[in-house]
Structure 1
Amino acid sequence: MGIDGRINANLIAMGLTVPTPIQAEAIPAIVAGRDLLGLAQTGTGKTAAFGLPMITRLIKYGRKPDPRTCRALILAPTRELATQIAQNVDAYAEGTPVRSYRIVGGASINVQTERMSRGVDVLIATPGRLIDLLERQAIDLSATEYLVLDEADQMLDIGFIHALRRIARLLPAKRQTLLFSATMPKLMSELADSYLKDPVKVAVNPPGKAAEKIEQGVHFVNQGDKATLLAEYMSKHTDELAIVFGRTKHGSEKLATLLDKWGYKVAAIHGNKSQGQRERALASFRAGETKVLVATDVAARGIDIPEVAHVYNYDLPNVPENYVHRIGRTARAGRTGRAVAFCAPAEIGELRAIERAMKAKIPVIGGEAPFELAGRTGPGTGPNAGQNAGRGGPKGGKPAFDGKKRPARRPSRAPRANQGGNRQHAE
């Protein structure tokens, strides 16, 4: 496919010998120098799709970059995704002269300024921190020949459109631009039209469609009963990794504290955590020391941990497309996974929006569906289906969808962890 032999050797050592569909279609076009619009789900190998041919072309320069410059710029919406990309790029480029550097918020800007004074081949950055360094004149983008926008739809989602336009004005008109996204909202089409020149379009999955190996389900439950219901589910797989998504920073922290009191090995990641806290939480989760990670949408992309077997949408996302990204944290690297959404009466609108975005119904696996959704098929939709939703203590009882009828019990006095709230602020 035109990839440098040293990179191929690294891939073989990593056990990567067969390209994924997005890689098979994108790599030849990128090697040929074409702009590219890639539409694919998370976890399909997009980093290698743009990283391998880019590193191959950078190897051919044969000299170090000038001070303060970068030859390739990769923009990512979150610190976690930027870190993930940097780790992959370093692994692909091992043994070659290509060097990468990551700049994100929450780290010392003075250290970042000093490092950029020597120049770098590949710069991986979040837009906000890149703007900070540009304002300090610590980075010069006039020599940047490759621009990659990864998970561009989320960058638009959390308000980075103005930062992207500002950055684009500082880049050479003659460059190769690669844009990757899992969804294709209208603003994304406009962005592609203005940034890409005669691009090759690669779409390996319909935008908004979830991975086929994810077993999905929705459980209807009152907001105040969600915590005990979550504990019931998790008590059945205490040795497997699970990610729980909340809507707000405060609510996610409160839920993590509650689960910790109930004896779960839990950590939290959200915008109020420092970069060091977030990295330690991820490292502990990746090592299996922490079994449950409670997160806001800051973790919906950029976490590539194949061992994650379960995803719980404790609160449904305000942005329908984020549902696909959230559940995409499981069923990675060819594995299967399970995603359960908890839907309170006030979240029916969010559920409908998610199903419209995916063009598919999520099977009901527990609780009693509201009247307007009562015609849907699936277990847990009968007249007695909701009697056990959220009942029982944090360590006892099976979720209602297992088909066994049990007498209703009053829920324990669990604090109401995260009852919605305003949409999470941009990181």
Structure 2
Amino acid sequence: MLLNAAPVHAPGARSTVQSLGASRIREVANAGIGLPDVLPFWFGEPDETTPVFIRDAAKEALDAGDTFYTHNFGVPPLREAIAAYVSALHRPVDVDRVAVTSSGVSALMLLSQLIINPGDRVVAVTPLWPNLLEIPKILGAQVVKVPLRFEQHGSRTWELDLQQLLDALTPDTTAVYLNSPNNPTGWVIAPEQQEVILAHCRRHGIWILADDVYERLVYDGDPSRRACAPSFLDIASPEDRLVSANSFSKSWLMTGWRLGWVVAPQPMMADLGKLIEYNTSCAPGFVQRAGIAAIEGGEDIIHRTVARYQSARDFLYERLNALPGVTAPRPKGAMYLFFRIDGRREGDTLALCKRLVVDARLGLAPGNAFGDEGEGYIRWCFASSLERLDEGVRRLAAFLETR
């Protein structure tokens, strides 16, 4: 018999991590793994592969031996290309304010680590991509949510109650998280709202963390102009408390490449470099070469993608609203329809999506994955061919008929 044996401590993550909500999008997708003939519209991902010229750039870099560490902030040609790209869309941005990251998700985490302390109060406009809701919680922050309102009359759109947001942005608030165009609703913030929010945040010293990943995916604009959503980068000065996260994933069909970037005030960059070093060190060099090719030669890809997605959006919008009991607002941006099925039981969105996977072989994302404010809604990624969307609607209609 062992005397004075050390107590047994069961292994487990820290309490903050245990309290995080698991992704319900992944939960639905996992329910569909192994099932034949499932149409997957649950992830924010196109049904097209990355263009050949971007893939070739990565292959050429690999063949040339580009397999070593790079600068924490990224290779100079890519940083310069990003700075020129952002400057052409918005106000001029110096290259010393740009850092390359290993994905847009990493960009959001790095920026949050840069500005958030444990116990800080953070405001988020919701419904919102679950990763962005949980990141500040990982850092020990309190997240206060300001929900968008669904306007059922007229154009059927999601709208921001600006006064409600300003009331939530109290002087003890550290940061506001804004994603526009929004995942999952497709809401796009108005420039005049941005002006008011920026002035309010300046007055109280509140950081604005802008998730600009979908900024090029906006619809119903002038097709002869370079489409881009309104951005705080259009109006903010370099000294403002504004940080912007972006990604190559959506605009250039590069979801699997895991390449993104941030724009931050220059005085923050040295500390940002530390965080990049301690998180990922750097993005792979050959992937960065693909990023250079995307920016330098990919504008036609973006224009074609926006036109394709707008057609898909309009098609799916009309088809869904033709189904009895379905209400689908028309999104102004991003790549999703966030729709409601009337007559459902309260709190059953996750279960409903799991049933759709098993019974209809249709993969959609449950609205409550994006916060409690999304309960009752379902997200459908329309970055797909009209034929696949048509088959998906047919399966949904058949499922609803048998309920």
The structure that is helix-richer by fraction is: 2
TM-score after normalising by structure 2: 0.38
Higher relative contact order (CA 8 A, sep 6+): 2
TM-score after normalising by structure 1: 0.36
